[in-house]
Structure 1
């Protein structure tokens, strides 16, 4: 068995309203110096050793992300 992490983030050119809301809230909470926040998703999968990198990419691309507006990265731990 192996643990795999799939990180999904909005593409740079895509507006991130959740990240903008966080960056605006930080100074009100006393946290200064943060100029940008991008919010994404993290998925952790437990997979058999038989699951290939190509299969993991297909899972990330077809199910875990919206490739029109998001980028993804698979990391085996």
Structure 2
């Protein structure tokens, strides 16, 4: 079973990397980009066979290690 986790900064948290990307895009001629938020994608191959169990396990991983839940939000997709 595969899990895909998307981690992004919460709304209202400053994103200096996103701002740097937006500025760089502007200098490359892509003036229509008004804002950029940068995050990360984590793919996990799991031994679990039960979908609900796998999702609960991945959420525990996110809460303990994969995401800083003070400033980041995450979504989990099980495939």
* TM-score scaled by length of structure 1: 0.90
Distance 1:13 1:27 in 2: 22
* TM-score scaled by length of structure 2: 0.88
Distance 1:15 1:21 in 2: 12
Deviation of 1:50 after TM superposition, in Å, equals 4.7
Runs (4+) of structure 1 exceeding 4 A deviation are none
**Does residue 1:69 correspond to 2:64, yes or no?**
no
Distance 1:62 1:41 in 2: 16
Q: Structure 2, unaligned stretches of length 5 or more?
A: none
Moved more, 15-24 or 27-36: 27-36
Q: Structure 1, unaligned stretches of length 5 or more?
A: none
What's the RMSD between the two structures over aligned residues? 1.3
Comparing both structures, which one devotes a greater share of its residues to helix? 2
